[in-house]
Structure 1
């Protein structure tokens, strides 16, 4: 365990230096959610039945979770890039824990996400979003959000190690943009057709989004929803546990196997 912690810390430092040396990508990934908040909040807010400010309060938790789900895309691209350029092969020759490399990438992504959440929340406050729940509940919402990002990053790392190609990872990562659209991140699901509502409510994004809205006090838990949405905190924790339990071992095993 101490070896994993030491090696993981070294890989965490490597990933953070890598991010620091690519400021353009960092700025883009941090400003895109803010741009989407302003665009969706004012354009969609004027088109929906909800008053604009109320829709923006509804939207902020959804965009937070949609951004967290992008851990699939970023994790996949970084892992595929390192694999394609031979970095992973060089790291395998070093006497370190096999879990340290993917773990360092996942934790570094979590640190950057936590830092990027702060300006997004400040912009949300500026456009009318408010924390209506308690401080403890708000802290729990942020913790749940970061846990979900950590879980989705492991999915991306595994897929990146599997594809082994930057271009393929970029194309596949772009497809993840559909996932928030099939959820309640942007609109309520109660107006959707029955089968589509079922799909949307069993989407992990819907459970986490509902949990954040409930903990922040922005919207009540909807009636008659599927179990993960009807019990959003428990559903979110269950989804995160399943994703980490499945994809973290798969990513570590795939990294250890290399090209075999």
Structure 2
């Protein structure tokens, strides 16, 4: 099982790095969005109720990371869907490996890529003057939450691909990803959001994931937001993995 998962994860990563059309959107689009937000909305840090930050870039880094991780989940789903369309998935099913390794291998690659995505935005932030208040331990916390969240988003993408079986349908969830992200506290503090977005954000797991990654950046590591972020990311991951495995079993029964 382990060897199959590692082999499939390595293959998935290799294919991702060989295809710029999969990799570039994960960092290019959120990076551009980050630049626009920081350049046009930096004065919002003076609003009453806005948390004390070194700069607006510090606050927005977690939003860019969350956005990138969500896009990584969509990309994972598209990759699986393309393998289904191209027949490679059927060859994997016919090979002598545990079937669940097909899902776990893809998710292992997604988790690895999620770590790299988080490191990218931390590096970009530091280059342009961001300040990681919690230092190296804070960076590790951000990477941990990002890896768990990225795994969950990837599992959602895999589940959708196994259900839809075509890349165009999976790609169609792209607008929905941004709707869910914008009704969270990823871009602005929850206390400054207008109704009914503030109420939606309170129950949106993306709010807790973004806040959990943001806390070590703008302040020292606080137990509550970090644990809430890990719990939200872990909850999404567990549910999504279970759904993706169930979708795999359904597809195998129908094959």
- TM-score for the superposition, normalised by structure 1: 0.85
Q: Is the 8 A contact 1:53 1:127 kept in 2?
A: no
Deviations 1:122-175 (A, max 9, x none): 221133210111432331122111111111111111111111111111112332
Alpha carbons of 1:237 and 1:192: their partners in 2 closer, same or farther (altered >3 Å)?
A: same
Alpha carbons of 1:23 and 1:69: their partners in 2 closer, same or farther (altered >3 Å)?
A: closer
Between stretches 83-92 and 20-29, larger displacement belongs to 20-29
> Which residue does the alignment assign to 1:224?
none
Q: C-alpha displacement at 1:220, in angstroms?
A: 9.6
- Is residue 2:233 matched to residue 1:240? yes
Which residue among 248, 252, 255 is the counterpart of 2:245? 252
> Which residue does the alignment assign to 1:151?
152
> Which residue does the alignment assign to 2:112?
111
Q: C-alpha displacement at 1:73, in angstroms?
A: 1.3
Runs of 4+ aligned structure 1 residues displaced above 6 Å come to: none
- Is residue 2:39 matched to residue 1:38? no
In the aligned structure 2, how far is the partner of 1:116 from the partner of 1:244?
18
In the aligned structure 2, how far is the partner of 1:82 from the partner of 1:34?
29
Q: Is the 8 A contact 2:118 2:146 kept in 1?
A: no
Give structure 1 stretches of 5+ with no counterpart. 222-229
Between stretches 97-106 and 212-221, larger displacement belongs to 212-221
- Is residue 2:134 matched to residue 1:141? no
- Is residue 2:209 matched to residue 1:216? no
> Which residue does the alignment assign to 1:57?
58
> Which residue does the alignment assign to 2:181?
180
In the aligned structure 2, how far is the partner of 1:241 from the partner of 1:24?
29
In the aligned structure 2, how far is the partner of 1:63 from the partner of 1:218?
18
Alignment length, in residue pairs? Answer: 248
In the aligned structure 2, how far is the partner of 1:213 from the partner of 1:240?
14
Which residue among 18, 21, 28 is the counterpart of 1:21? 18
